[in-house]
Structure 1
Amino acid sequence: MMGLTAEQLRVSLDALAQQEPGFAAGLARHGYPDPRIRERGHVTMLRTIVGQQVSVASAAAIWRRLEEAVGADIVPAALAAASDEELRGVGLSRQKMGYIRSLGELVASGEVDFAQLPADDEEAIALLTKIKGIGRWSAEIYLLFAEGRTDIWPAGDLVVQIEVGELLGHEARPSEKRVRELAEAWRPHRGAAAIFAWHHYGARLAVARATGKGGEKLPL
């Protein structure tokens, strides 16, 4: 595992708080976020594909059946070679079958090596998005949670946009382009800023619900 640790988050967020009063106020209100750490490797990316557009319970059930079909170690070559019948039997759509085979083929061939992704973040994102079904957001989340890359900035994430606007006192949610511009000054701590944005959103929503004031109905 290589995600950002609690200590790394604290150091980065303290640096951001010194720079941006909005972060300082947000930390005072809701404290530091817990680390979001995932295992490094193709299995984590496979879980991302399996979990797309299904409930947590459904994803868990599909995962159990997938392990039974191709083996608990989830070897990339086995994913690439799995038949339609096998993959359909575990509950996967035809679209996700293609995604899973793409992942298996690219890893088995060595074209995508999760142990040696490019050091440059944009190059790593470009490589990961060669996997069918993996867009920029999924690639960014992998690099942030599984590799702990400190300056990953998923500016296209709706909650990140909402919370940047909230923390900086904007009247309306800033656009993805504006969020990227605003965060340039936060390098190299943008990964921690994103994790804090999700944490701050969740805390705000919890307070709103507890006080009967509702709150945005947006997914974390």
Structure 2
Amino acid sequence: MWKEMLTANSYYDFDYTLKRWSYDPLTNLDKEERWVDVPVKLEDGSHVVRVQAQGTTAQPSFSISSEDENAKEALIKHVRDLFQWDRDLEKVRRHFQNTNLEELFSAYPGTPIVKDFHFYDCLVKVIIHQQLNMKFAHTLSTRFVERLGYQKDGVWFYPEPETVAETPYEELRKLQFSQRKAEYVIDASRKIVEGELDLDWLARQADEEVMKYLVKIRGIGPWTAENWLMFGVGRENLLPKADIGIQNALKSYFELENKPSKTQMETFSKNWSPYQSYASLTLWRSIE
């Protein structure tokens, strides 16, 4: 086993990341000991990397450990990209000091964008979770992974697109998927297997191009595309205006009688660019 110490570029609230991940039964973590086991797929196979916080939000540092010495460099690169420790969250906080979210960012400094473990995992998850409450959404994604995925060292890995593409719709219906949701997940997986949908290529395109491309796929609307961009790719400037949680957070923060309209949300967020994703995350956090 190898172990390395890494540091983040600025303020970084790792404990909040653990709290958010703890809602997902598939994630192996310990909030008290401050560690999470990250499933990583590389060309040479599947690996489990333990990431454990050693420092504080103001002075963040982390121990990274895994088994395969030969994959060490690739695993560290993957984990650094996943947690985005190179982002300057202090710069983000300073940006919002000059906006109507100043109080919110003072209350929750260092809230990071942490990516899902892999592009495909994230896409499947957001398709499954769309238009569902959080509890049942995680129930469905857990059943999906336990049925079609696999474990290594007690850590769950999402299935490969090839596995899902070959799965009959009826198999997901047995897990309480609706017929349409079963079709959306399996058909999107088939597009990936057939080369029609290349997530690695898509992740390199501009936000607007990704949105245009993804919403053409049956079962993927703007909310799903925005969440894939934010949590799959780690893009910084997204505000899913149709998200009920963001609407409720804005209603609470600005003390509105009703949920804000799209026009109101555009007015509120006028000065949030280029960091709207951090506003989204911090708004969600404010009502959890």
TM-score (norm 1): 0.74
1:31-67 deviation line (CA, Å, top 9, x unaligned): 4435442123122211233345335234312321122
Q: Work out whether 1:11 is the aligned partner of 2:96.
A: no
Is the Cα contact below 8 Å between 2:118 and 2:232 reproduced in 1?
yes
Amino acid at match of 2:231: F
Is the Cα contact below 8 Å between 1:3 and 1:147 reproduced in 2?
no
Partner of residue 62, structure 1: 144
- Match of residue 78, structure 1, among 163, 179, 193: 163
Measured after TM superposition, the shift of residue 85 of structure 1 is 4.4
Partner of residue 283, structure 2: 197
Partner of residue 270, structure 2: 184
Question: SS in structure 2 opposite 1:28?
Answer: helix
Distance 1:76 1:62 in 2: 13
Task: Choose 162-171 or 149-158, whichever is displaced more.
Answer: 162-171
Measured after TM superposition, the shift of residue 188 of structure 1 is 0.7
Question: SS in structure 1 opposite 2:270?
Answer: helix
Distance 1:96 1:165 in 2: 30
- Match of residue 135, structure 1, among 211, 221, 227: 221
Is the Cα contact below 8 Å between 2:237 and 2:276 reproduced in 1?
yes
1:105-126 deviation line (CA, Å, top 9, x unaligned): 2212322211111622122012
Partner of residue 27, structure 1: 105
Q: Work out whether 1:106 is the aligned partner of 2:186.
A: no
Higher strand proportion? 2
Partner of residue 209, structure 1: none
Measured after TM superposition, the shift of residue 135 of structure 1 is 1.7
Higher helix proportion? 1
Distance 1:190 1:63 in 2: 31
- The Cα RMSD (Å) is 2.8
Distance 1:174 1:138 in 2: 21
Partner of residue 161, structure 1: 247
Measured after TM superposition, the shift of residue 153 of structure 1 is 1.6
Structure 1 pair 122/160, CA: closer, same or farther in 2 (3 Å)?
A: same
1:92-147 deviation line (CA, Å, top 9, x unaligned): 33222211222112212322211111622122012222333222112111111121
Amino acid at match of 1:13: R
Unaligned runs of 5+ in 2: 1-77, 151-156
Measured after TM superposition, the shift of residue 169 of structure 1 is 5.6
Question: SS in structure 2 opposite 1:161?
Answer: helix
Amino acid at match of 2:148: L
Is the Cα contact below 8 Å between 1:50 and 1:63 reproduced in 2?
no
Task: Choose 80-89 or 149-158, whichever is displaced more.
Answer: 80-89
1:132-184 deviation line (CA, Å, top 9, x unaligned): 32221121111111211111121222232333354456554321232124323
Which of structures 1 and 2 has the larger relative contact order (alpha carbons within 8 angstroms, sep 6+)? Answer: 1
